[in-house]
Amino acid sequence: MKPNYKNWVPKGMIFAAIGATGISLLLCILFGIIGIVSGWIKTVLSLIFLIGAVGGLGVSIWLIFLYCTFSYDGKRQMSKQIIEGVSTHVKLPDGGKGLDIGCGSGALTIACAKRNPNAFFIGIDRWGREYSSFNKTLCESNADAEGVSNVRFERGDAKRIDFPGESFDAVTSNYVYHNIFGDRQALLLETLRVLKKGGTFAIHDIFSKACYGDMQAFVRKLKDMGYEDVRLIDTTDGLFMSKSEARWMALAGSGLLVGKK
């Protein structure tokens, strides 16, 4: 059995963009060419729906390229590259316990568990409606397909992690917090709350100023709090993707926050 890690670009989103493009084009033809109205109303409506069709086509093409780039079955396989890259920073002691926040289809949780066979990993996610094909059953099926048994998946909320402080030897996350509205530095602190003293963290996200504010100041704050070897690694310089890829995919600012508590 082969694992199915899905794609963070849902097919439904692509089909919706294509459908919206088609409807806009049809309405442009109806109002502009067939002329079911006349005068300035015809001109304005034709222009509006033409702009909608062109914009929809652009979004559709962009989403298709994103889907192909992140696909586990495609040529680029950026998702696989990111997952494997983040997991290399996660090393647990025998009998240790790790937490992956926003596990989605279980890819990072499983990758970390495979690298740490004598430890145990828990993956949590809210599995919202926007990603309806991602769920606990899918995660468990992927773990079975990979032959990984040292994992468990639960429903959870990154804003209020339902575990006591200092419960885990490692915490991880991949492209999760930029999707959550609010103070994202506070989300990071909530994540680090459940990390044991001496534990490690590896969090990959879009750490742009627009999303997170001044992350260099946050790194200094963690060091002042006693965290060790805190680094914000640019992942758009060829590590996981090129800067040009990051720009056209709207992922500029992607980085990996790693360190030790």
- 78-260 CATH: 3.40.50.150
How long is the chain? 261
What gap in Å lies between CA 111 and CA 36, rounded to an integer?
58
Mean pLDDT, 10 residues at a time, over the chain (261 residues)? 92 94 92 76 88 96 95 93 97 97 98 98 92 92 98 96 97 96 96 97 97 97 96 97 95 97 96
Q: What are the residues whose beta carbons fall under 8 Å from the beta carbon of 251, sequence distance 6 or more?
A: 206, 236, 241, 245
Separation of first and last alpha carbons in the chain: 38
Strand partners of residue 260: 200, 228
What gap in Å lies between CA 248 and CA 244, rounded to an integer?
6
What gap in Å lies between CA 213 and CA 208, rounded to an integer?
7
Q: Note the pLDDT of residue 73.
A: 87
Q: Note the pLDDT of residue 133.
A: 86
CA atoms within 13 A on the CB side of 99: 26
Residue ranges per structural domain of the chain: 11-70, 78-260
Identity at 210, one-letter amino acid code: A
CA distances from 195 to 23, 154, 198 (A): 50, 18, 8
Q: Note the pLDDT of residue 147.
A: 97
Q: Note the pLDDT of residue 112.
A: 98
Q: How many CB atoms lie within 10 A of CB 24?
A: 20
Q: Note the pLDDT of residue 114.
A: 98
CA distances from 221 to 171, 192, 218, 225 (A): 19, 13, 5, 6
Beta strand residue intervals within the chain, DSSP E = 97-101, 120-125, 151-155, 168-174, 195-206, 228-234, 254-260
CA atoms within 13 A on the CB side of 48: 9
Q: Note the pLDDT of residue 30.
A: 87
